[in-house]
């Protein structure tokens, strides 16, 4: 289907984000502070309509052009904030990236206490697809809990619990290994509500000791050192795309049968 002109029209702040210059919130600040011109005219409204293929955008006199798309994977350590800036001065994931790395945004979040695989990209449309509920892209976590697990708990996790109006459930939950006082679980989600696993287990009276995301779809964290980042290979990016398409197709067929 041929894309219409209207489909390429976005607000000015979003245009800066889509062009890989900065986040949308940072773009709003730049625009309101008078740093951005559109077709040689100063614009102060972040929602000013922009046609990405026709209009000319400048920030402090520098013309913006669409950057090459970048797809990174990062092994986030515990205690790091998944945000660009932090008002409390805490270390963020951006301090782990190379200084010459172009602007990228996290694809979703891992909370401060959580660890593991985090994607970052300047491709906002791809990021939105990865995060979209209808994509059903699986995320796999290894979770250490302060309890000895039985099949009753695993079944409750799969059936779901109610927390603050949300139904929180695991697509699958199994025991990886157990000690005398704690257990490591493998938990797979095909949806992602805020602090999903922690809230679910808290509702079941279980304390989470560690939570590590080890895979997103077919992409595994593997041996990437903690605190390190690298670009996805073309094959890894294509594998994620195929997984998203496959999940969406399966979901459509499931709805038709229902």
* Active site (catalytic) residues: 111
- Residue 43 vs residues 89, 130, 194: alpha-carbon distances, Å: 31, 32, 35
- Three-state DSSP class for 235? helix
Tokens 């139904």 found at: 167
- Three-state DSSP class for 27? helix
- Three-state DSSP class for 222? coil
Tokens of 20: 């890989």
Q: Are 83 and 105 in contact (CB under 8 A)?
A: no
Q: Are 208 and 189 in contact (CB under 8 A)?
A: no
Tell me how far the alpha carbon of residue 9 is from its chain's centroid.
Answer: 24
Read out DSSP for 57-101?
EEETTEEP-PPPP-EEEEEEPTT-BSSS--TT---BGGGGS-TTP
């Amino acid at each position: 289907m041929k894309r219409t002109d209207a489909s390429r029209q976005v607000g000015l702040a979003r245009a800066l984000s889509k062009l890989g210059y900065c986040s949308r919130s940072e773009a709003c600040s730049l625009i309101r502070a008078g740093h951005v011109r559109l077709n040689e005219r100063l614009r102060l409204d972040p929602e000013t309509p922009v046609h990405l293929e026709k209009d000319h955008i400048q920030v402090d006199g520098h013309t913006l052009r669409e950057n090459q798309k970048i797809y990174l994977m990062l092994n986030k350590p515990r205690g790091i904030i998944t945000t660009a800036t932090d008002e409390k001065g805490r270390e963020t994931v951006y301090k782990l990236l190379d200084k010459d790395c172009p602007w990228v945004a996290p694809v979703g979040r891992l909370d401060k206490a959580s660890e593991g695989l985090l994607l970052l990209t300047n491709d906002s449309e791809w990021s939105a697809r990865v995060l979209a509920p209808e994509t059903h892209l699986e995320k796999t976590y290894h979770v250490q809990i302060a309890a000895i697990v039985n099949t009753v708990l695993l079944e409750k996790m799969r059936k779901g619990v109610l927390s603050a109006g949300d139904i929180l459930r695991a697509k699958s939950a199994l025991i990886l290994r157990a000690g005398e006082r704690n257990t490591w679980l493998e938990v797979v989600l095909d949806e992602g509500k805020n602090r999903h696993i922690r809230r679910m287990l808290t509702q079941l009276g279980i304390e989470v000791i560690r939570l590590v995301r080890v895979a997103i779809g077919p992409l595994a964290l593997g041996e990437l050192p903690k605190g390190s980042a690298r670009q996805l290979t073309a094959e890894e990016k294509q594998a994620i795309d195929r997984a998203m398409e496959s999940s969406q197709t399966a979901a459509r067929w499931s709805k038709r049968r229902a």
